Structure 1
Amino acid sequence: MNGVVESAQSEAARPLVKAGVASLGVSALGIVFGDIGTSPLYTLKTVLTLTGGAPTPEAVLGVLSLILWTLVIVTSIKYVVFAVSIDNDGEGGILALMSLLGIKKHQRPAIVAIGLFGAALVYGDGAITPAISVLSALEGLNIATPAFEPSVLPAAAAVLVALFAIQPRGTSWIGKAFGPIMSLWFLAIGALGVWGIARHPAVFAAVNPVYGLHYLLTNGYTSFLVLGGVFLCVTGAEALYADMGHFGSRPIRLAWFGVVFPSLILNYAGQSALVLDGASTSSNIFYRLCPEPLLIPLVILATVATVIASQSIITGAFSMTRQAIQLGWLPRLRIIQTSEQGYGQIYVGVVNWLLMVVTVGLTLFFGKSDNLAAAYGIAVSATMLMTSALLFIAMREVWGWSLASAGLVAGIFLCVDAAFFAANLAKILDGGYVPLLLASLVYGVMLIWHRGLQAVTQAIAERLIPVGEFMASVEARKIPRVPGTAVFLTRTSRDTPPVMVWHVKHNRALHDYLFVLTAVTQSVPWIKDSERLSLTEVAPNFWRATAQYGFMERPDVPALLSRARDQGCGLQLEDVTYYVGLETVVSREDGKGLPAWEEALFAAMARNAVHVTDFFRLPPDGVVEIGRQVAI
């Protein structure tokens, strides 16, 4: 296994849904919809800027029509209707979807590549979302008075540093407030939208998709650039799918169709109506909807809402990291459980501080939300394109749809996502390279770590000794048998584990009771208790066990031993010593191993990874580590 979690929470404590659907829907407003819910702060202004010059009524209605129908097709239909219906034992997101399809056929490098790079792009999104959201919120101060303008950037940096600084405390202490605050936010933006629509009710004409199509077909390259800006209105849709495991599909659908979707439509329509009524687009249009006496309270509410949206993205990055570690795609990191009530409440220090450095750096480098918008869309659009490709395969293999049916539905999603991705590619030189560079680095780390693990496993497997041969050697050499139980943790699923051989070689003794444990992470989030443990007695008082875990679960080996004894394994649990191997990676002398640079990077990650002992919750005073060199 490949991760570390600290918590007093019981093993495999899968979050149980006990609250009502309505209550969970309110909670989902804060956890799931923060990102997409704060997009009105910057989306319309960014899009109208891309139209060039003062926007004409045709441009305003065309842009609004594109935004409305993008919300319908991408978020409402693709994600809320289809994607959340394809879950991996209740879990969503591109990694869970990749794992679901991976268990259908084990050799699927294309699916693995799509899923991993899509997951890597989430980290780019996690760095940019807090920066653009907080900057957009605080830029409302410029409308209140220009005197605030020099303070916006330092204030944004301070808010972001504070946001990341509170992460070690966990979010459970403010989690209960997320839903009500975001409920107030959606109520406020919906009401502001109604006020704006009253100024120019003709804006409702944009419901007709002809306005959007006409704008796309008659404005050449400008409409192509505008499409990239329009995409900003759905940047939180992928996070919606990834967070499904916390609430289930029904609360998410209720919150979306009952609150979020109507509020977003009303606000975008209200902003557009204001522009049609002659409002300037030189500053943030969103705040021009607000009556002047309420402007400062709205800025405060917007800042809090963007912090909540940013918190959701950061928590998503933590969850993504845990899944990747469990599946063997990232080095072991220390993961701290910050709440006994919510399994999703975790903290990953390395990820948190790296994200903070990148996020604050991006904020200071780009300076304004308009500039950051260029870097934003490409990460999410690429992830959505990859999700659509996986959805097509899931429709065929999970739902059993015909090629024609799956091709028709997924083909529409792929065409829409491909158009958005192509439009966002135009932003590469303006900042779009940032998330692609970040994703490439994360993807590279994933591949190197996984290849290194495979090489270590293969190197160890080359020198395995059959159990019969090993036990005969112990008897022939008159190796003393001492009282108690020895538990050997190993990657190997057959023969004698190397750590047992090393123990006998160095200590010249062996316990009376031997228990060899291999923990396997499956490509599903959870494993039934009845399927957890399989036991085989390979020699007298010598048991080999395989423990199955889902990628959302955490092992507890002492508890597993009690389960093994209940299944007939005669262990002496009052006297147990745990043995684990401590491997030092070196280069193969025959030149047939990994390239030198790849081996060096893997060795560096292995040295800095948290030791596997912690992950299994072994008692510190009962563990013996035995080291050896492994040539890869």
Structure 2
Amino acid sequence: MDVEVGGDGESPATGKCFARCLPRETSNSSFRRDFILAYKTLGVVFGGLVTSPLYVYPSMNLESPTEEDYLGIYSIMFWTLTLIGVVKYICIALNADDNGEGGTFALYSLLCKHINIGSSLQSKSVNSRTIFSYSDGAMVTETRNKLGKFLEKNIIAQRIVLFIAMSGVCMLIGDGILTPAISVLSAIEGLRGPFPSVSKVVVEGLSVAVLLALFLLQKHGTSRVSFLFSPIMGAWTFTTPIIGLYSLLKYYPSIFKALSPHYIVHFFLRNKSKGWQLLGGTILCITGAEAMFADLGHFNKRSIQMAFLLTIYPSLILTYAGQTAYLIRHLNDHSDGFYKFVPHVVYWPMFIIATLAAIVASQSLISASFSVIKQSLQLDYFPRVRIIHTSQNKEGEVYSPETNYILMVLCVLIILYFGDGKDIGNAFGVVVILVMLITTILLTIVMIIIWRTPIIIAMLYFVPFFIMEGVYTSAVFTKIPQGGWIPFVISIILASVMFSWHYGRQRKLEYEMKNKIPIDCLNELLSRPEIQRVAGICFFYNKIEDGITPLFGHYLKTMRSLHKVTIFITLRYMLVAKVDSNERIIIRKLGIDGVYECVIHCGFADSISLERDHFFTEIRDSLEQHIKMNSGEFSRHIEEENSELENAKKDGVVHVRGKANFHISKSTSLFDKILLGFYQFLHGNCRSALPNMGIPLHQRVEFGMLYET
């Protein structure tokens, strides 16, 4: 299904909406499904993690390393993978999903739904004392704890949380730009081993060609891509640990003694500030972990856990062990720490597999970028872009053409600007650790407010990870002059777009809530002598709950007429694949002849077309049900209403949508002039609020209105 999410004319799912219960699966079928999904996750979710051996050691810029240095570095990577990868993400973070979605903005969305923070359409409809959510169709009422009450009352704290969430989204999108660039470039660099004459220009050109092909494949959907990519990643995760095992047995069989943390202590005591700076390279061993969390909507928790614990984690431990063992015997070969440790007999097969695996690595961050953009749209924090659901049964599996092509252009520019995987690694480290630090902060808030975890236990999670990631952050900040500034520039641009859009939407919502037309006043408004009722049927798109948008008042004042049959349409998208036909349309009369309120519930895989006859039939059938429930004279009322609808349809159908802009005058503050001016630029250049529902052009009417600032 092709949908533009968020904005005028539609409303996202709120706590008031229903949830459909799916049939329960047997344990055997569930396990079989998860096992198949676990295999598919290899091709989408873990790319950045499993290809990190291609660029971790080359990114460190080691100077005269010793055996003890390599043992310390391997110990750091082992415990980083174990603590951050296994404990933080696999055991804890994957449980903090929002209707199956993961990532930093999913955590923020989860907070918005459980406490009254933010100014999105969802939070405006939430009661200030209790929150209503659905779990297997049951409504649950939750009371606030102290932290929840503090966030609700403190606007500064709310803005800090929002800023943290926005920063996480921006950094993850930056990750989606840098991961494809560094992964593919590092893999193609393998050509220069046997062929030193191959120039950097050739390597850059081949890398660009590979990335262009990858981005053009995205429109086919994650499922099709994962089916193609999973065998590639399966081959990578099977062959690299075998080579790693061969290497450690040949060069340094006692490498696993480095698992003792005392090697980390000695590493820092020996290298001091230099060892601290090298953390900027070791952090790349865990790159892709955040994408694993953000890609949760494409698969499910158990399949990701199975794939990581059974294949990815042991594969990385053995691969890094083999690399380190080789480097202990070849101390100065770290500039190409992957291809040097590959035996010559299998060099070319491994080059092919590594290149294909780098393509897969790029996929994990690209799909994660699509997910966080969709989450931002659902919360109305990002300009409307086209969101295509590429799966009929997975709500989280999406594709965004605009996002895809912007990422493609930026990836190509990164390669052409840097031309070297080592330089990109400096920028990469900044993105990797900052998004992890942001997840730690938001996840701690979720643990305390939503999971009701005791403060002491929550601190046992927060303090160790905050200190660990804080130390990593301080190290990567030294790389800012050497390319680390790139993600900050990207993040500042994205944050400006998100904040301006959010501010503009908030101001519009405040104006409309303040000036909405109450349902009770509608009869008085339409009874004015200057208002004429004309033949035909009008679908007027409305987004205000318990009232009508002030755009309708402006429409009446300007047109001085209203169709004999007027239906106020609200589109509400649900987190289910398809909505049952008897639950799809809810319609009621507004106490005035020919005037109705209609809510259309749409699943993400539903096909919407408002100009086809079966939609009109659904409207009529829903109206019949409404009359039967509210009138004792069934047949006469139904016949009259049906006759009125049929006659109005013959006289003509029109779809009316209002479009509001801000009136920026000389008295408007400079702050509003800048932010609202930028918002209007974004609003004027983004997609239409209404999805493409096949409405003929001659039936569409759009009119404008200026809101006072």
TM score, norm. by length of structure 2: 0.80
Structure 1 residue aligned with 2:243:
192
Structure 1 residue aligned with 2:632:
none
Of residues 151, 158, 161, the one that matches 2:212 is: 161
Q: Secondary structure at the match of 1:262?
A: helix
Structure 1 residue aligned with 2:533:
481
Structure 1 residue aligned with 2:124:
none
Q: Secondary structure at the match of 2:384?
A: coil
Q: State the alpha-carbon separation in 2 of the partners of residues 564 and 62 from structure 1.
A: 70
Of residues 11, 20, 27, the one that matches 2:33 is: 20
Q: State the alpha-carbon separation in 1 of the partners of residues 180 and 96 from structure 2.
A: 29
Q: State the alpha-carbon separation in 2 of the partners of residues 72 and 58 from structure 1.
A: 21
Structure 1 residue aligned with 2:288:
236
Q: Percent identity?
A: 32
Could you tell me whether the CA contact under 8 Å between 2:57 and 2:334 is conserved in 1?
Answer: no
Q: State the alpha-carbon separation in 2 of the partners of residues 82 and 468 from structure 1.
A: 50
Cα gap change, 1:482 to 1:384, in 2 (>3 Å): same
Q: State the alpha-carbon separation in 2 of the partners of residues 428 and 369 from structure 1.
A: 16
Q: State the alpha-carbon separation in 2 of the partners of residues 469 and 243 from structure 1.
A: 47
Query: Structure 2 matches for 1:115-514, cutoff 5 A?
Result: 115-150=165-200, 151-170=202-221, 172-199=223-250, 200-278=252-330, 280-338=332-390, 340=392, 343-477=395-529, 479-482=531-534, 485-514=537-566
Q: State the alpha-carbon separation in 1 of the partners of residues 375 and 619 from structure 2.
A: 25
How many angstroms does 1:543 deviate by?
Answer: 3.7
How many angstroms does 1:411 deviate by?
Answer: 1.6
How many angstroms does 1:42 deviate by?
Answer: 1.0
- Measured against aligned partners, the alpha-carbon deviations of 1:590-613 in whole angstroms (never above 9, x if no partner) come to 425852222221111111111112
Structure 2 residue aligned with 1:2:
6
Structure 1 residue aligned with 2:139:
none
How many angstroms does 1:265 deviate by?
Answer: 0.3
Cα gap change, 1:66 to 1:553, in 2 (>3 Å): farther
Residue 597, structure 1, aligned to residue 702, structure 2: no
Cα gap change, 1:12 to 1:232, in 2 (>3 Å): farther
Cα gap change, 1:433 to 1:479, in 2 (>3 Å): same
Structure 2 residue aligned with 1:629:
706
Q: Secondary structure at the match of 2:701?
A: strand
Query: Structure 2 matches for 1:51-130, cutoff 5 A?
Result: 52-53=63-64, 55-107=65-117, 108-130=158-180
Moved more, 289-298 or 386-395: 289-298
Q: Secondary structure at the match of 1:614?
A: coil
How many angstroms does 1:464 deviate by?
Answer: 3.8
How many angstroms does 1:114 deviate by?
Answer: 1.1
Which one-letter code corresponds to 1:601 in the other structure?
A: F
How many angstroms does 1:93 deviate by?
Answer: 1.0
Q: Secondary structure at the match of 2:538?
A: strand
How many angstroms does 1:270 deviate by?
Answer: 0.1
Which one-letter code corresponds to 1:62 in the other structure?
A: G
Query: Structure 2 matches for 1:519-538, cutoff 5 A?
Result: 519=571, 537-538=589-590
Moved more, 61-70 or 525-534: 525-534
Q: State the alpha-carbon separation in 1 of the partners of residues 520 and 248 from structure 2.
A: 82
Could you tell me whether the CA contact under 8 Å between 2:54 and 2:187 is conserved in 1?
Answer: yes
Q: Secondary structure at the match of 1:147?
A: coil
How many angstroms does 1:323 deviate by?
Answer: 1.6
Q: State the alpha-carbon separation in 2 of the partners of residues 525 and 222 from structure 1.
A: 52
Could you tell me whether the CA contact under 8 Å between 2:172 and 2:431 is conserved in 1?
Answer: yes
Q: Secondary structure at the match of 2:208?
A: helix
Could you tell me whether the CA contact under 8 Å between 1:97 and 1:390 is conserved in 2?
Answer: yes
Which one-letter code corresponds to 1:42 in the other structure?
A: Y
Q: Secondary structure at the match of 2:568?
A: strand
Q: State the alpha-carbon separation in 1 of the partners of residues 666 and 534 from structure 2.
A: 39
Which one-letter code corresponds to 2:68 in the other structure?
A: E
Could you tell me whether the CA contact under 8 Å between 1:527 and 1:548 is conserved in 2?
Answer: no
Structure 1 residue aligned with 2:132:
none
Of residues 40, 45, 51, the one that matches 1:32 is: 45
Cα gap change, 1:130 to 1:14, in 2 (>3 Å): farther
Q: Secondary structure at the match of 2:626?
A: coil
Moved more, 486-495 or 11-20: 11-20
Which one-letter code corresponds to 1:568 in the other structure?
A: H
Q: State the alpha-carbon separation in 1 of the partners of residues 300 and 294 from structure 2.
A: 11
How many angstroms does 1:369 deviate by?
Answer: 0.9
Q: State the alpha-carbon separation in 2 of the partners of residues 567 and 201 from structure 1.
A: 76
Which one-letter code corresponds to 1:251 in the other structure?
A: S
Q: State the alpha-carbon separation in 2 of the partners of residues 349 and 314 from structure 1.
A: 12
Q: State the alpha-carbon separation in 1 of the partners of residues 115 and 280 from structure 2.
A: 36
Could you tell me whether the CA contact under 8 Å between 2:394 and 2:577 is conserved in 1?
Answer: no
Cα gap change, 1:70 to 1:525, in 2 (>3 Å): farther
How many angstroms does 1:301 deviate by?
Answer: 1.2
Q: Secondary structure at the match of 2:80?
A: helix
Cα gap change, 1:3 to 1:320, in 2 (>3 Å): farther
Could you tell me whether the CA contact under 8 Å between 1:39 and 1:232 is conserved in 2?
Answer: yes
Q: Secondary structure at the match of 2:254?
A: helix
Q: Secondary structure at the match of 1:332?
A: coil
Could you tell me whether the CA contact under 8 Å between 2:584 and 2:601 is conserved in 1?
Answer: yes
Cα gap change, 1:536 to 1:419, in 2 (>3 Å): farther
Residue 568, structure 1, aligned to residue 618, structure 2: no
Cα gap change, 1:12 to 1:366, in 2 (>3 Å): farther
Q: State the alpha-carbon separation in 1 of the partners of residues 415 and 288 from structure 2.
A: 20
Gaps of 5+ in 2: 9-17, 118-157, 628-637
Q: State the alpha-carbon separation in 2 of the partners of residues 46 and 320 from structure 1.
A: 28
How many angstroms does 1:504 deviate by?
Answer: 3.0
- Measured against aligned partners, the alpha-carbon deviations of 1:358-383 in whole angstroms (never above 9, x if no partner) come to 21111122111111111101112111
How many angstroms does 1:343 deviate by?
Answer: 4.5
Gaps of 5+ in 1: 5-10
How many angstroms does 1:421 deviate by?
Answer: 1.3
Which one-letter code corresponds to 1:189 in the other structure?
A: T
Which one-letter code corresponds to 1:599 in the other structure?
A: L
How many angstroms does 1:341 deviate by?
Answer: 6.0
- Measured against aligned partners, the alpha-carbon deviations of 1:453-492 in whole angstroms (never above 9, x if no partner) come to 1222333445444444442242231634345543322233
Cα gap change, 1:240 to 1:273, in 2 (>3 Å): same
Which one-letter code corresponds to 1:630 in the other structure?
A: Y
How many angstroms does 1:423 deviate by?
Answer: 1.3
How many angstroms does 1:335 deviate by?
Answer: 2.7
- Measured against aligned partners, the alpha-carbon deviations of 1:196-225 in whole angstroms (never above 9, x if no partner) come to 111110211111121122212332111111
TM score, norm. by length of structure 1: 0.90
Q: Aligned pair count? A: 621
Cα gap change, 1:473 to 1:142, in 2 (>3 Å): closer
Q: Secondary structure at the match of 1:30?
A: coil
